[in-house]
Amino acid sequence: MFRRSRVLLAATATAAACALALTGCGSSGGGTGSGGHTSSGASGGSAAAALVPAAIKAKGTLVFAMDATYPPDESIAADGHTIVGFDADLANALVSLLGMKADLQNVTFDNIIPGLSSGKYDIGLSSFTDTKEREKTVDFVTYFQAGEGFYVKAGSGKKFDGLDSLCGHSVAVENGTTEQTDAQTQAKKCSVNVLSFQTQNEVNLAVSSGRADVGFADSQVAEYIVKQSNGQFENTGKAFEVAPYGIALPKGNGMAKAVQAALKELISNGTYMKILDKWGIQDGAITNPVINGATS
């Protein structure tokens, strides 16, 4: 998963509280659909709309699965149920060109891909790193690029920079993320205590309580957590393992070309960069979205 920043002060305050697990902010669990929000679609005049398979078009609404504990990419707004963030804004922009509506559902991260495979969700837009392993199960359309990063409890004096620095330490990660995979791979090379949690909120709590020496997340998310922590956390080391994010789709269902066309139009008409600028993550912008563009 991956990253970034904010706009409405009330939404920001709540997102920050969620990120630090200081308050309960909506359901994060089990793919129950908590936190859903339906947007109004456009007239469907875009060329991308013509690429949507008829069976999917007939539904009228695309169900997006998002783990809304990962600001600034996706989190719960001040009203306690609306999903906001970079990915949420992008979802609504995409459906406006696809001629459909968006139903944004709050789902734990490791339940999203199984939900796509079972047909429960139409699109997974939740800071997924596009990997060759995931491409065996779902199709991706790349839409962003980001790295991985570390953060620690402020004043702890602990320093981390790269995977080798995890040796001899405990690291907190969210289930199903590339960070979990990378930490577990490193643990086969040296002594690393990998602590896995269902949500990013729980990861943050493990670091703040001292249960874990370091938190491991997408680089922009790690930066955002620190910025919103009121001095509770600090970043350590440089971002590494930069890779593309992908919009996840059920394997072979025909939606990839439609989503790719819509995203290309958002890039060309300036909407894409406006969304990235709004959330302060323009450094991760791409110019050419591709289908299944994993680099590793």
pLDDT at 237 over 70: yes
Pick from 11-15, 33-37, 78-82, 281-285 the range whose average pLDDT is largest: 78-82
Confidence of residue 250 (pLDDT cuts 50, 70, 90): very high
The pLDDT of 84-101, averaged and rounded, is 98
Q: Supply the DSSP string of 257-289, one letter for each residue.
A: HHHHHHHHHHHHTTHHHHHHHHTT-GGG--S--
CATH number for the domain spanning 194: value is 3.40.190.10
Number of domains in the chain: 2
Assess whether 61 and 80 both reside in one domain: yes
108 in a structural domain: yes
* Together in a domain, 33 and 135: yes
Nearest Cα residue to 129 out of 265, 16, 243, 19? 243
Query: What is the structure's pLDDT at 3?
Result: 31
pLDDT of residue 44: 58
Pair 16, 119 in one domain = yes
pLDDT at 39: 53
Give per-residue pLDDT as tens, 175-208: 999 999 999 999 999 999 999 999 999 999 999 9
Q: Which of 180, 177, 194 is nearest to 126 (CA)?
A: 177
Write the pLDDT tens digit of every residue in 34-79.
445 555 454 456 899 999 999 999 999 999 999 998 999 999 999 9
Are both 131 and 251 inside the same structural domain? yes
Structural domain of 176: 147-241
Residue 236 in domain: yes
On whether the pTM is more than 0.85, the answer is no
Measured at the CA of 140, the angle between CA 138 and CA 145, to 5 degrees, comes to: 135
Nearest to 68 by CA among 104, 39, 122: 104
Q: Mean pLDDT over all residues of the chain?
A: 88
pLDDT at 36 (0 to 100) = 57
Whether residues 262 and 221 fall in one domain: no
The reply to whether 131 and 278 lie within a common domain is yes
- Are residues 278 and 208 both part of a single domain? no
Domain-located, residue 162: yes
Closest CA to 87 of 248, 254, 250: 248
Grouping H, G, I as helix, E, B as strand and the rest as coil, residue 227 is helix
Residues 19 and 77 reside in one and the same domain: yes
